[in-house]
Amino acid sequence: MCGIIAYAGYKECQPILLESLKRLEYRGYDSCGIAVRVESRKSRRGRINPTPTIEVYKDVGRVGDLAKSFPQIQGLKGGGRGTPVDGQDARPTRLQTPGSGLGIAHTRWATHGEVSKSNAHPHLDCSGRIAVVHNGVIENFQSLRDELTREGHHFSSETDTEVIPHLIERYYDGDLEGAVTRALADVRGTYAIIVLAAGHKKLVAARRESPLIIGIGDRENFVASDVAAVLDYTDRVIYLEDGDIALVSEGSISITSRESGRGTPDSRLQTLDYRPVQREEQVIPWSLEEAQKGGYEHFMLKEIHEQPKAIENTLSGHISLIERTVSLNVRKEAGLEDIVLVACGTSSHAALIAEYVIGKLCHLPVRVKVASEFNCHEMALEKTWVWGISQSGETLDTLRAIKKARTLGCATLAITNVPGSSITRIAEQVFYTRAGPEIGVAATKTFLTQLVALYLLAFSFASPDIMNAEGLIEGLRLLPSRVRQVLDGAEGIIPHARHLSRYDNAFFIGRGLNYPVAMEGALKLKEISYIHAEAYAAGELKHGPFALLGPSTPVVAMATRDDTYEPMLTSIKEIKARGSQVIALAEEGDEDIEQFVDAVIRIPPIDPLFSPFLNSVALQLLAYYAAKERGCPIDLPANLAKSVTVP
Ligand code: M6R
Together in a domain, 101 and 85:
yes
Q: Which band of pLDDT confidence, cut at 50, 70 and 90, is reported for residue 41? A: low
- The span from the CA of 298 to the CA of 633, in Å, is 9
Length of the chain (residues): 647
Q: Count of alpha carbons within 13 Å of 287, Cβ hemisphere only?
A: 4
What amino acid positions are annotated as catalytic residues?
A: 2, 642
Atom of ligand 1 lying closest to residue 348 CA: 10
- Give me ligand 1 centre to Cα 181, in Å: 33
Give the dihedral of Cα atoms 417, 423, 429, 433; nearest 10 deg. Answer: -10
Measured CA to CA, the distance from residue 443 to residue 446 in angstroms comes to 6
Residue 302 or 646, more confident:
302
Q: Per-residue confidence at 263, pLDDT binned at 50, 70, 90? A: very low
Do 517 and 455 fall within a single domain?
no
Measured in Å, residue 8 CA sits from the centre of ligand 1 at 32
* Same domain assignment for residues 304 and 267: no
For the chain, the average pLDDT equals: 88
Highest mean pLDDT among 12-16, 20-24, 209-213, 612-616: 612-616
| Residue owning the nearest CA to atom 15 of ligand 1 | 442
Domain membership flag for residue 643? no
In this structure, are 502 and 459 located in the same domain?
Answer: no
Distance separating alpha carbons of residues 639 and 240, to the nearest angstrom: 28
Is residue 638 one of the residues assigned to a domain? no
Query: Do both 444 and 517 map to the same domain?
Result: no
pLDDT for res 271: 54
Q: Report pLDDT digits (tens) over 335-360.
A: 888 999 999 999 999 999 999 999 99
Is the preceding peptide bond at 122 cis, omega within 30 degrees of 0?
A: yes
Stated pTM of the model: 0.81
The range of the structural domain enclosing residue 45 comes to: 3-283
Which of 240, 259, 283 is at the close of a domain?
A: 283
Percentage with pLDDT > 70 across the chain: 90
The count of structural domains within the chain is 3
Identify whether the C-beta of residue 645 lies closer than 8 Å to the C-beta of residue 210.
yes
CATH at 450:
3.40.50.10490
- Is 358 part of a structural domain of the chain? yes
CA distance 579 to 157: 52
| 647 lies in some domain | no
Same domain, 104 and 212: yes
Residues in the ligand 1 pocket, defined by CB under 6 Å: 344-347, 390-392, 395, 398, 441-443, 523, 527, 643-644
Residue 306 lies in a domain: yes
Domain final position from 481, 502, 534: 481
pLDDT digits (tens, 9 = 90+) for 54-91: 999 888 888 887 777 664 443 333 333 333 344 343 33
pLDDT at residue 100 in the model: 77
Looking at the fold, whether 476 and 531 belong to one and the same domain comes out as no
Give the pLDDT of residue 468.
Answer: 72
Do 385 and 503 fall into the same domain? no
Does 152 lie in the same domain as 40?
yes
For the ranges 122-126, 447-451, 639-643, the lowest mean pLDDT is seen at 639-643
Both 302 and 221 in one domain: the answer is: no
Return the best residue to mutate from 433, 520, 643 for the ligand 1 pocket (most ligand atoms within 8 A of CB): 643
Atom of ligand 1 nearest to the CA of 344: 6
Q: What angle do CA 617, 623, 625 make, to 5 degrees?
A: 100
**CA gap 14, 7 in Å, rounded:** 9
What is the b/e burial string over 118-139, where b = at least 16 CB atoms within 10 angstroms of the residue's CB? bbbbbbbbbebbbbbbbbbbbe
Pick from 109, 303, 391, 646 the residue to mutate for probing ligand 1's pocket: most ligand atoms within 8 Å of its CB. 391
Q: Which atom of ligand 1 is nearest to the CA of 392?
A: 1
Between residues 130 and 109, the one the model is more confident about: 130
Nearest atom in ligand 1 to the alpha carbon of residue 346 is 10
| pLDDT score at 364 | 85
641 located within any domain:
no
Question: Distance from CA of residue 603 to its chain's centroid?
Answer: 30
377 has pLDDT over 80: no
At 167, which CATH number?
Answer: 3.60.20.10
- Determine, yes or no, domain membership for 646: no
Taking CA atoms only, the protein residue closest to ligand 1 atom 12 is: 345
Residue 309 and residue 266 share a domain: no
Query: Where among 283, 309, 336 does a domain terminate?
Result: 283
Same domain for 140 and 53: yes
CA 210 from centre of chain: 12
